[in-house]
């Protein structure tokens, strides 16, 4: 218990440092250097850099048993968000914040690395720790790591993502789709400007855009089965500068989230048809950029069962919830395309206990003690695989 508490205190210290010095996607140079320095201080790891800031740290167990290669992954990037938590260790990088919990993810993987370095006689496998850049911005850092070939020998890969809305330290585990795909809609509508008093002389792109958005929102309710998951949301609508002038263009941006390929394709087709039809009916033209983002994370059944059994045996079944699915997107999906994977959700607190702000919010904050069950699960997965 003393060793576990000491490791937890170290993880808290590491997280506070990482939280103070966040770096956005593809620019995590100091973060990567600091993480590599820590790994070297632990000892026993071979480090391979991939791209500018990603790296893999490998260590080999000395116990008799399975020699399968097992991987664990963390993301290392932050978001362009101005922090409003008021924490004593709040971000010192103006306009940048670990608002998605990647500081928790990194600290737990460092905790596992520390344990692995001190306990090589307690596991038999080769363990690869994946420190990945740019989860937040497509195409994402996972694709580059998978393409490097340095994970080709991996038998199973695991990862966590922290979220509010679940009890502290409770772990969501399920096979099948865990997160959604995300595609990005960028639409420019070209109309014809006019005075606000003479709309009949123009083509109003605001009205056309509003009709397009309204019609697109009918796609899920009238084209998709209630047993499938899909979400369409729009976050930007820009048009005009003056209240009494009809502008000549409007720009709309949104996103589409689904959990299977058929629904994903159908929604893309229907969105295109809606835009074409509404613009044609209103004498407007358009330019559509429909970008395919990350695919859904799909957990492997066997790997997920290993994780479930590990948590049940070492914590308690009461800590497991089996409906962890989220309509967020995650490039952990790239690993699952090649490697049997299990991506787990780790609870950081309920709204009624003060943890009311969702990931990406400037006041996002979770209960730090969630890391105890996170790192414990990682360590016990290592031990479990030595017995398989």
Cβ contact 80:24 at 8 Å: yes
How far is it, in rounded angstroms, from Cα 99 to Cα 364? Answer: 6
Q: Name 171's Cβ contacts closer than 8 Å, sequence gap at least 6.
A: 311, 315, 319, 320, 321, 344, 345, 346, 347, 373, 377
User: Is residue 385 annotated as involved in ligand binding?
Assistant: no
User: Is residue 100 annotated as involved in ligand binding?
Assistant: yes
Residue 181 CA from chain centroid, whole number: 11
Query: Could you tell me whether strands 171-172 and 181-190 are parallel, antiparallel, or unpaired per DSSP bridges?
Result: unpaired
User: Is residue 360 annotated as involved in ligand binding?
Assistant: yes
Cβ contact 131:103 at 8 Å: no
Kindly report the backbone phi and psi dihedral angles of residue 66, in degrees, each rounded to the nearest multiple of 5, phi listed first: -60, 140
Please state whether the peptide bond connecting residue 139 to the residue before it is cis, i.e. omega within 30 degrees of 0. Answer: yes
Kindly report the backbone phi and psi dihedral angles of residue 196, in degrees, each rounded to the nearest multiple of 5, phi listed first: -60, -20
Cβ contact 349:168 at 8 Å: yes
Cα dihedral: 307, 312, 314, 318 (round 10): 130
Annotated binding site for Mn(2+): 100, 102, 136, 161, 360
Annotated binding site: 100, 102, 136, 161, 360
């Amino acid at each position: 218990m003393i060793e576990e508490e000491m490791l937890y205190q170290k993880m808290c210290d590491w997280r506070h440092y990482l939280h103070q010095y966040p770096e956005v996607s593809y620019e995590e140079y100091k973060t990567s250097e600091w993480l590599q320095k820590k790994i070297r201080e632990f000892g026993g790891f071979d480090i391979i850099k991939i791209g500018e800031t990603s790296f893999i740290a490998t260590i080999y167990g000395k116990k008799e048993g399975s020699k399968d290669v097992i991987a664990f992954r963390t993301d290392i990037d932050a978001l362009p968000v101005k922090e409003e938590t008021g924490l004593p260790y709040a971000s010192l990088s103006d306009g940048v914040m670990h608002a998605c919990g990647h500081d928790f993810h990194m600290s737990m993987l460092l905790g596992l690395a520390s344990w692995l370095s001190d306990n090589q006689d307690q596991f038999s496998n080769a363990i690869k720790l994946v420190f990945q850049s740019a989860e937040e911005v497509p195409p994402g850092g996972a694709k580059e790591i998978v393409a490097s070939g340095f994970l080709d020998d991996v038998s199973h890969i695991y990862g966590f993502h922290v979220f509010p809305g679940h009890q502290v330290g409770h772990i969501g585990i399920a096979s099948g789709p865990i997160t959604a795909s995300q595609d990005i809609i960028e639409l420019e509508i070209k109309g014809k400007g006019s005075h606000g008093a003479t709309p009949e002389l123009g083509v109003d792109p605001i009205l056309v855009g509003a009709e397009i958005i309204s019609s697109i929102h009918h796609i899920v309710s009238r084209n998709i089965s209630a047993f499938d998951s899909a979400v369409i949301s729009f976050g930007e609508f820009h048009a005009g500068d003056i209240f009494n002038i009809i502008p000549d263009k409007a720009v709309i941006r949104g996103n589409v989230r689904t959990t299977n390929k058929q629904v994903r394709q159908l929604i893309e087709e229907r969105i295109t048809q809606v835009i074409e039809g509404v613009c044609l009916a209103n004498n407007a033209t358009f330019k559509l950029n429909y970008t395919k983002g990350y695919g859904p994370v799909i957990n492997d059944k066997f790997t997920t069962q290993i994780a479930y059994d590990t948590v049940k045996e070492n914590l308690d079944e009461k800590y497991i919830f089996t409906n962890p699915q989220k309509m967020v997107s995650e490039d952990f999906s790239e690993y699952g395309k090649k490697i049997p994977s299990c991506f787990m959700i780790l609870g950081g607190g309920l709204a009624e206990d003060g943890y009311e702000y969702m990931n990406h919010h400037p006041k996002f904050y979770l209960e730090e003690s969630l890391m105890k069950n996170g790192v414990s699960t990682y360590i016990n997965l290592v031990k479990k695989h030595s017995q398989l």
